[in-house]
């Protein structure tokens, strides 16, 4: 069955040849994604298994990679994001457009319109709950634009259906003694056109912001 699924996966990937794929900036994370990165014009969900899991640190790296081809639109309705910290993580300050909507309706409109724009590198936001119709509108908006949609979601999102092209669950793991790094487990819950339930363990250095394959984790993609 796994062999048959791989054959089907390869067929789907052939259809996507020529599409613009952006690396996550972390080879170990790329390895669990069907296209070795994220395609432009798609939505990805970054689900935190619990607060402080490191999900924002990983998504910011992707946003930084996507900035090479266009600005990042940062939708911060609840003022959760500390912009200087994002800049320290590698974002280009001159290529960040910060939008702070004043209502949920304004927030959804902002995200949708941002995803539709051409020439945008990424759209980054935290959003707790999405109705099926709202999620579908965002997915269609992403399809019509050039951005990578990065939706940071709470743990409850993993139990909801959605329209994201990629769903990643980020969970904390115990770090080695005296380590300056946070260890996280990233599980690919869903990837359109690819196998799911692939995982990787990564170390996030809080001092430098660097992300690398966890020490001793020899196989970067475990099924």
pTM score, two decimals?
0.85
Q: What is the 3-state secondary structure (H, E, C) of the chain?
A: CHHHHHHHHHHHHHHCCCCCEECCCCHHHHCCCCCCCEECCEEEEEEECCCCCCHHHHHHHHHHHHHHHCCEEEECCCCCCCHHHHHHCCCCHHHEEEECCCCHHHHHHHHHHHHHCCCCCEEEEECCCCCHHHHHHHHHHHHHCCCEEEEEECHHHHHCCCCCCEEEEEEEECCCCCCCEEEEEEEEEEECCCCCCEEEEEEEECCCCCEEECCCCCCCCEC
Q: At what angle do helices 132-144 and 104-116 cross, to 10 degrees?
A: 30
Is the separation of the CB atoms in 121 and 68 below 8 Å? Answer: yes
Greatest Cα pair distance, the chain, in angstroms, is 50
pLDDT digits (tens), the chain, 223 positions = 555 544 544 444 444 444 589 999 899 999 999 889 999 999 999 999 998 888 988 999 999 999 988 999 999 998 877 777 777 777 888 889 999 999 999 999 999 999 999 899 999 999 999 999 999 999 999 999 999 999 999 999 988 888 999 999 999 998 888 788 889 999 999 998 776 789 999 998 877 778 889 876 554 444 4
Query: What's the CA gap between 124 and 165, in Å, rounded?
Result: 15
């Amino acid at each position: 069955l796994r062999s048959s699924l791989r054959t089907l996966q390869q067929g789907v990937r052939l259809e996507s040849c020529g599409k613009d794929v952006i690396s996550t900036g972390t080879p170990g994370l790329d390895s669990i994604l069907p296209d070795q990165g994220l395609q432009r014009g798609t939505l990805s969900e970054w689900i935190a298994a619990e607060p402080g899991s490191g999900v924002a640190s990983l998504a910011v790296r992707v946003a930084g990679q996507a900035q090479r081809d266009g600005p990042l639109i940062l939708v911060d309705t609840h003022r959760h994001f500390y912009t200087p910290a994002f800049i320290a993580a590698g974002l280009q300050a001159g290529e960040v457009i910060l939008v702070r909507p004043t209502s949920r309706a304004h927030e959804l409109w902002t995200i949708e319109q941002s995803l539709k724009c051409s020439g945008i590198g990424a759209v980054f936001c935290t959003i707790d709950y999405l109705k099926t119709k709202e999620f579908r509108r965002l997915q269609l908006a992403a399809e019509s634009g050039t951005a990578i949609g990065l939706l940071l979601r709470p743990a409850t999102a993993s139990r909801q259906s959605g329209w994201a092209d990629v769903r990643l669950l980020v969970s904390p793991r115990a770090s080695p003694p005296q380590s300056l790094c946070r260890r996280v487990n990233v599980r690919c819950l869903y990837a359109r056109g690819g196998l799911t339930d692939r995982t990787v363990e990564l170390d996030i250095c809080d001092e430098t912001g660097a992300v690398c394959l966890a020490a001793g984790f020899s196989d970067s993609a475990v099924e």
